Amino acid sequence: MRNRTEFQGYELTLHHQGPTASRSDDFDANWEIIQSALKQIHTKNASHLSFEQLYRNAYNIVLISRGNDLYGRVQQWEKDWLDTQVSARATAAISPPLLLAKDVANVQDQANERRAAGERFLQVIKESWEDHQLCMGMITDVLMYMDRVVTADHNKPSIYVITMALFRDHVLRAPIPNHPELVVANILESTVLFMIHLERLGHIIDRPLIRHCIYMLEGLYETVQEEASGKLYLTSFEPAFLEASKVFYKAEGQRLVETGDATEFCKRATTRIAEERERCTYTLSPLTEPKIKEVLDNELIRAHISEVVNLEGTGVRTMIDNHRLEALKEVYVLSSRVDGKKLPLTAAVQNRIVEMGRDINASALVTATKLPEKNADGGKKAADKDKEKPINQQTTLAIKWVDDILALKTKFDSIWKDSFESDQVMQSAITTSFSEFINSNTRSSEHLSLFFDENLKKGIKGKTDDEVDALLENGITLLRYIKDKDLFEAYYKKHLSRRLLMKRSVSMDAERQMISKMKMEVGTQFTSRLENMFKDMAISEDVTASYKTHIKKSGDPDQKRVELDINVLTSTMWPMEIMSNSRGDEVQLACVFPRDIERLKKSFEEFYLSSHSGRKLTWQGNMGTADIRANFQRPNGKIQRHELNVSTYAMIILMLFNDLPAGESLTFDEIKAQTRIPGHDLIRNLQSLAVAPKTRVLKKEPMSKDVKPTDKFFFNSDFQSPFMKVRIGVVSGGANKVENQDQRKGTEKRLNDERAGSIEAAIVRIMKQRKKLVHAQLMTEVLGQLSSRFTPDVNMVKKRIESLMDREYIERIEDDPPTYGYVA
Amino acid sequence: MAATNSSQSEYVTIVSGDGFEFVIPRSTACVSGTIRRMLEPSSKFSEALTGRCVLENISGVVLEKVCEYFCYNQRNKNQTNVPDMDIPPELCLELLMAADYLDT
Amino acid sequence: MDCEVPLPPPPRIRHRSPSHRPAAPSSLRKTYRLSRLDDRSSQPSSDPALFSSDDIPASGLENYHAPVSSGNRKRRYRGTWWGEMVKDPKRKRADFKDKRLVDSGVWMGSDESGADSVLPSSEASNWGEDFLVPEERLNPLAQSLNQSSLQGQQRGMGVRKVEESQEHQFARTIVNDCLERGHDSVDLSNAYLKVVPPDLLQPLQHLTKLPTVREAPVTEEVYSSLQPFLRLFLAGNGLTAVSGGLFELDALRVLSLRNNKLTDIPPAIRQLTMLQEVNLSVNRLQRLPWELLWLIKKGDLKHLTVRPNPLMPIEDAEIAQWHYPDETTPESIEGALKMSQYEGPAPEEAWAPIHVATGPVRRFNMEGFPVDETRLSGGRVSEPDRTATRVPSLREVSLLSFSRSSFFDQIPDSEMTEFPALMLRLLRYAREVRNGGGRHCSVCHRAFVIARAEWIEWWDCATYENGLKGPRTPGESLRPLPFRRLGCSWSCVPRVEIESGPECP
């Protein structure tokens, strides 16, 4: 019985193995056994070795406190083994081609030769390493007891760790005979890099072999502490690899850009990225992936992306024009790797949008600019047949403008969605550009409003609700881009009022839908006036109805009734300035109505004011229409009856002829004096009554397009029309069209007045709240408050501030910095 | 693990210095770090090939207790409430020594 | 309770020390530091019973380096203030020497030891020298090895009873006196005990109170419980370790170990389930045993005085998980501390200790060596015990069994060295643990020798440091204390660890 502790009663004795005297003999004997075992293990001849015996030998050595010596002996033995056996084998495997200059540029020449030699060499390294690893694993197992003691007591690294370090120093860092400046690791490195270079050129290489060599480098450390950062792979191979890659991709990037094909460049770059990722997974180490990605991003993308994006004929511009979503996507993906803002790409896209937008603007203006010239000098001319056409054409152009923009928008939406991965940055860039070119067209608000007008009048006929909705939604999208929303409001109001008063709207539902959409988009403040217009219309219907019943009750039945349909409009809500008679400083007296009508007017006023005291009714003759029954005395005695639908003014004019004996005439001036119809309205009405070919109820002398003050007008009893009911429109009166230059000026002026008011209101509001404010701050607050409606002109704001100071709403209380105070 | 050959039987034999043999499941024997290394198939030591481990240092009495511990360890491996194992006081010093040797 | 008699206000201790330099008010950490020292720690850490208006000069937390020059100091009265208030006012506490002469019944023979009476003071002057090196995270074994030799000497001394040191003899007389007179307040403060002899305190287990005899009229208030309200004062003794014997006094209600040189409180303190008040201030504790927290939560402990001590500040500690105010991990420590203000009210939180954070778990292998967690995954260090099983190792099983057996004390040190070094280490470790009163796993309660897991939990116990005088007030900043927890297996770790870990059914 050996090494048995016996207990006899309570007395304890320990019998230790062997006599203590011969401890050093023990050591030598045990070491002999272990030493021979080491050799057996390294020569793969362990099957007859007993693990237990070896372990026990090592254990015994430790028990006699010679563990540390054993450790040293093993270390020395391994060092010798590596030097004499392994290292020799490794250096022997290095054949001349591997020693060639590390320059990989001209690989083609001895590629095959070098490659074969390289594979042989790597194979040897791989085998040596794997053998060493396996054997040291076994040896460490056998010496585990020693390891435990030595690592605990002497704070030394495990024998495994120390022998791995030996492999590093005595194999990998063994100098190569005849090349004292080189060590095995250098050759290993250059060989692996050479292989990778081959693979990049499209050759197939032995990936697993390289992977195994990389495993080795990953398993070896610079120090015995084995810090993760000290892996040989990271300290030596990886930097070399990254450097080589840098060189390679720098050249490749240059070459690709020189071929001048952006699509090709992006394709190659994308493939390269995928290749390198794969290389990190299968050939090298995943640790390298982020670093090689950085190299690719820098050398291939960051260095060239701007150039690629702007390549003539193949760059982003061409891709957009040809709607090449795939290519754009590649550009986008590459760009977003290197730059969150993707500057070159956004710039290119923005430029293209603005360019295309400018084209659209230009095409809408081509005729528009021609026309005003005509209008400018033709405005005073007599009505002319062609005139209707270009104006309509212009309206069509306006609508086309909107349609074009919508088409462009759709295009870029699809690019954004499919190619730019719905990227937020791209979206805002696109939006900015759209906004930019849309607002660069000064007429955009008008065009857009016309677009709505057109669609609400005709466009939506026969369309389903969904289609209508989509259509309106498109328009709203454009509205979003428009900065001067107040200008749009002005136009919309004007157009809406015409639609309402002339009952041109196809569907009131659509109108309301439109209002609610605008409300969502721009806000309640914006739509409240529009809504009030609808309200007025509704109330007016009631008023008309109740007036009718009122007449029925009180009226004299024998009187020849004139039916009255009336719309009472709140003057502040409706675009009165558009409809009002006043033109410039000309004081316009109310026009003279025929007696019957005058009576009717009085009666209604009486009725209306009885229920709404304190209000003032102003009659807008230019906005109304009248149905009159006209008898035409034919020369053959027959009387031809027609029902004429004319404007209120035309009705007044025609009524004059009732009192006139047949054949008599009235001059323009006479008519004007008798009716007090504003000159330009009169001209237009006379034109439509006497010039328009199909509706010549009056004759004119001399017959010409223009109306001159001296022209005479006769009742045309020969009036012929195939229809019973004849509608006589007012020349360029009723329809909503593009404004001419004069109208525009007017609109702008009104707009500016209105803006001035808004600005003053905002200033006073702010100052009232703040009491005291620095100029710059006041400016920003004002701009902020108003930005939802329009972008105020800074000069205008300054003027308003001055004006308010003059009027002593505010005062300047300091000069540096300029500060204002609120005057209560 | 290269070798999953025939020698990788499910049971192994543990032999004490005084000749007592204990046949226990391989996984159970591997509770001991030393035995686990001894049986490591990739290293192909004779024990790994034969499945027979002779532990010269350890007497049958102690080895029996050691094997009992192996089983106790295996049985309660995933238990939350591990029962105590009974150790005769006169054996515990030797068991400690064996545990030290067998790394368990 | 006799503590209710009015007391002269306890002396305010001012810690004037170089380390307490005027702090730059800027950083958060600084202000925190300050708050750690001020506030409630303005409550005296001293035992209320101490007479000394002049506290031991070296008592300050920062003053460890200064040697205690107690050699020529005037002998002070020791004892409790209520020692003065006993029914029989004639009995003044006797001076050390007198007392020994009068009351030395057992030790009469050792007269010549009087010559040694100079000894305590001269020895005492050396107290400050064996000063603790701020013990970094030493592995517990290394620590225990340092101390084991010392223990061995003590053991030797213990055997030679005849030559027991004067201080020990004196301590015995006090103990005996208490036993005799049924005094349940045992004051061994400033008795120059550098160790507590193993058998010194045992008799106190059987202490019974004597009924007070009073003259009529006998009212109900006169009756006092005969159940001893055992109080033990070991303050100011230069103790470096607490022996297991102390923890066998399961009736102990009040324990003061103030002003010693303790670096660690053994987990066995948990056995003192009756404990109501503990004073551990002015020691060298960097952390507290988790079992103290257990006594607060499950036991009767109401007043815990631990400051000042070089307790590990949470700002410097590695934190694995924050628990308060929520489970989110703050970006920085500053952030965390800013967050750890008591946000109130949650009634039970206003009083109960709050778990603020948990430190990382350190694992140890079967031999008690720390395991490098980072190495666990790779390399060749194939640990058979990597899987988190709760089964104790054979080493552990044998060691535990051995440390419980009576053989344990019978192996002389000389024979122990015959064992393999690794085994010897374990045996010494086991002896250390045994001397400390044994250990139980803080997770599964199994008794064990070799800790396999260790971690720090940070708990704010302000209300208990306060003596439960009031609940927390909202906005109060938390001052977490480090409690060390030990686990007996790799499965006995904080719950989160288990969840993310590989097993546990």
User: Measured between CA atoms, how close is B54 to chain C, in angstroms?
Assistant: 20
Q: Find, among C433, C454, C450, the residue nearest to C442 by Cα.
A: C454
**C contact test, residue of A13, A60, A138, A149 with most C CBs within 10 A:** A149
Find the mean pLDDT for residues A22-33. 77
Nearest CA in chain C to A140: C380
For residue C18, tell me if it sits in a domain. no
Shared domain for C46 and C184, answered yes or no, is: yes
Look at chain B and count its residues: 104
The domain total for chain C is 2
Shared domain for C164 and C275, answered yes or no, is: yes
User: Do the Cβ atoms of C374 and A12 come within 8 Å?
Assistant: no
Looking at per-residue confidence, does C384 or A564 come out higher? A564
Half-sphere exposure of A317 toward its Cβ, with a 13 Å CA cutoff?
A: 13
Q: Where are the alpha helices (DSSP H) in C58-160?
A: 81-84, 96-103, 119-124, 140-159
For residue C122, tell me if it sits in a domain. no
Pairing mode of beta strands A5-8, C447-448:
unpaired
Torsion angles phi and psi, residue C484, rounded to 5 = -90, 130
Of C277, C295, C311, the one marking the end of a domain is: C311
Rounded distance between C-alpha atoms, residue C388 and residue B41, angstroms: 25
C502 touches chain B (CB under 8 A): no
Mean confidence (pLDDT) of chain A? 80
Looking at per-residue confidence, does A4 or C389 come out higher? C389
User: Do the Cβ atoms of C384 and B36 come within 8 Å?
Assistant: yes
How far CA A568 is from CA of A125, A491, A562, in Å, comes to 101, 21, 18
Find the mean pLDDT for residues A123-132. 92
Of C311, C333, C365, the one marking the end of a domain is: C311
The amino acid present at C398, given as its one-letter code, is: S
Q: pLDDT tens-digit profile of A320-351?
A: 888 888 888 888 888 888 877 888 888 888 88
Q: Domain residues for C255?
A: 36-69+76-112+138-215+225-311
For residue B89, tell me if it sits in a domain. yes
For residue C339, tell me if it sits in a domain. yes
Shared domain for C406 and C348, answered yes or no, is: yes
How far CA C394 is from CA of A64, A717, C491, in Å, comes to 24, 130, 17
Find the mean pLDDT for residues A429-436. 87
Looking at per-residue confidence, does A707 or A734 come out higher? A707
Find the mean pLDDT for residues A397-420. 87
Looking at per-residue confidence, does C339 or A50 come out higher? A50
**pLDDT for res A74:** 92
Contact B24, B69 (CB under 8 A): no
User: Do the Cβ atoms of A12 and C406 come within 8 Å?
Assistant: no
Rounded distance between C-alpha atoms, residue A515 and residue C60, angstroms: 81
Was domain A239-303 assigned CATH 1.20.1310.10? Answer: yes
Rounded distance between C-alpha atoms, residue A493 and residue A751, angstroms: 13
Q: pLDDT tens-digit profile of A645-660?
A: 888 888 888 887 877 7
User: Do the Cβ atoms of A12 and C407 come within 8 Å?
Assistant: yes
The amino acid present at A580, given as its one-letter code, is: S
C414 touches chain A (CB under 8 A): no
C36 CA to centre of own chain: 20
C381 touches chain A (CB under 8 A): yes
The helix (H) or strand (E) run that includes residue A337 is helix A325-338
The tokens for A265 are 């460049």
**Residue that the structure tokens 């020569």 belong to:** A43
For residue C168, tell me if it sits in a domain. yes
Shared domain for C285 and C406, answered yes or no, is: no
Q: pLDDT tens-digit profile of A542-551?
A: 888 888 888 7
Secondary structure letter of residue A579 according to DSSP = H
Overall CATH class of domain A742-822: mainly alpha
Q: Find, among C457, C471, C465, C479, the residue nearest to C344 by Cα.
A: C471
The domain total for chain B is 1
The ipTM (two decimal places) reads 0.92
User: Do the Cβ atoms of B94 and A4 come within 8 Å?
Assistant: yes
Q: Which band of pLDDT confidence, cut at 50, 70 and 90, is reported for residue B61?
A: very high
**pLDDT for res A517:** 85
Nearest CA in chain A to B40: A138
Shared domain for C272 and C231, answered yes or no, is: yes
CATH code of the domain in which C251 resides: 3.80.10
Torsion angles phi and psi, residue C232, rounded to 5 = -130, 125
Please report residues of B whose CB lies closer than 8 A to that of C366: 103-104
- Please determine, for residue B63, whether its predicted confidence score (pLDDT) is greater than 90: yes
- Please determine, for residue A553, whether its predicted confidence score (pLDDT) is greater than 60: yes
A83 CA to centre of own chain: 66
The tokens for C106 are 């057992």
Q: Find, among C315, C288, C324, the residue nearest to C486 by Cα.
A: C288
**pLDDT for res B66:** 93
Was domain A312-441 assigned CATH 1.20.1310.10? Answer: yes
Q: Where are the alpha helices (DSSP H) in A523-594?
A: 524-554, 576-579
**C contact test, residue of A151, A226, A231 with most C CBs within 10 A:** A226
Pairing mode of beta strands C354-358, C362-363:
unpaired
User: Do the Cβ atoms of C367 and A65 come within 8 Å?
Assistant: no
Contact A748, A516 (CB under 8 A): no
User: Measured between CA atoms, how close is C435 to chain A, in angstroms?
Assistant: 21
Q: Domain residues for B15?
A: 11-99
Shared domain for C64 and C108, answered yes or no, is: yes
Shared domain for C410 and C267, answered yes or no, is: no
For residue B45, tell me if it sits in a domain. yes
Contact A171, A87 (CB under 8 A): yes
Rounded distance between C-alpha atoms, residue A410 and residue A388, angstroms: 33
User: Measured between CA atoms, how close is B78 to chain A, in angstroms?
Assistant: 27
Shared domain for C339 and C468, answered yes or no, is: yes
- E strands in C204-274: 230-233, 252-256
How far CA A334 is from CA of A340, A341, A342, C368, in Å, comes to 11, 12, 9, 54
The tokens for A639 are 């009387």
Nearest CA in chain B to C424: B97
Was domain A17-230 assigned CATH 1.20.1310.10? Answer: yes
Find the mean pLDDT for residues A690-696. 76
3-state secondary structure C150-213: HHHHHHHHHHCHHHCCHHHHHHHHHHHHHHHHCCCEEECCCCCCCCCCCCCCHHHHHCCCCCCC
Ranges in chain C, pLDDT < 70? 1-163, 210-226, 324-349, 373-387, 496-505
The answer to which of A161-175, A689-703, C182-196, C201-215 has the lowest mean pLDDT is C201-215
- Listed as own residue / partner, the contacts of A59-64 with beta carbons closer than 8 Å and 24 or more positions apart are A59/A145, A59/B57, A59/B101, A60/A17, A60/A18, A60/A26, A60/A30, A61/A26, A61/A27, A61/A30, A61/A31, A61/A146, A62/A145, A62/A146, A62/A149, A62/C420, A62/C421, A63/A16, A63/A17, A63/C420, A64/A20, A64/A23, A64/A26, A64/A27
Looking at per-residue confidence, does C312 or A675 come out higher? C312
CATH code of the domain in which B27 resides: 3.30.710.10
Of C277, C311, C345, the one marking the end of a domain is: C311
**pLDDT for res A306:** 86
Count the neighbouring beta carbons within 10 Å of the beta carbon of residue C33.
15
**pLDDT for res C17:** 44
Torsion angles phi and psi, residue A185, rounded to 5 = -60, -35
The amino acid present at B95, given as its one-letter code, is: L
Rounded distance between C-alpha atoms, residue A94 and residue A76, angstroms: 26
Rounded distance between C-alpha atoms, residue A459 and residue A306, angstroms: 45
Helix (H, G, I), strand (E, B) or coil at A479: helix
The tokens for A823 are 């005057």
- Please determine, for residue A107, whether its predicted confidence score (pLDDT) is greater than 60: no
**A contact test, residue of B7, B40, B43 with most A CBs within 10 A:** B43
The tokens for A584 are 């410039």
* Chain A, chain C: beta-carbon pairs less than 8 Å apart: 33
Shared domain for C92 and C165, answered yes or no, is: yes
A642 - beta bridge partners? A630
Q: What is the DSSP string of C416-484?
A: HTTS-HHHHHHHHHHHHHHHTT-EE-TTT--EESS--EEEEEEEE-HHHHTTS-S---TTPBP-PEEEE
Q: pLDDT tens-digit profile of A754-795?
A: 888 888 888 888 888 888 888 888 888 888 888 777 777 788
Secondary structure letter of residue A692 according to DSSP = S
Q: Mark which residues 39-78 of A lie under 8 Å from B by CB.
A: 46-53, 55-56, 59
Looking at per-residue confidence, does A456 or C118 come out higher? A456
Ramachandran region of residue C478, left (φ > 0), alpha (ψ -120 to 50) or beta?
A: beta
Ramachandran region of residue A203, left (φ > 0), alpha (ψ -120 to 50) or beta?
A: beta
User: Measured between CA atoms, how close is C379 to chain A, in angstroms?
Assistant: 8
A622-727 CATH: 3.30.230.130
Contact C431, C244 (CB under 8 A): no
CATH 1.20.1310.10 in chain A, residues?
Answer: 17-230, 239-303, 312-441
Shared domain for C304 and C325, answered yes or no, is: no
Give the rounded percent of residues in chain A with a pLDDT score beyond 90: 8
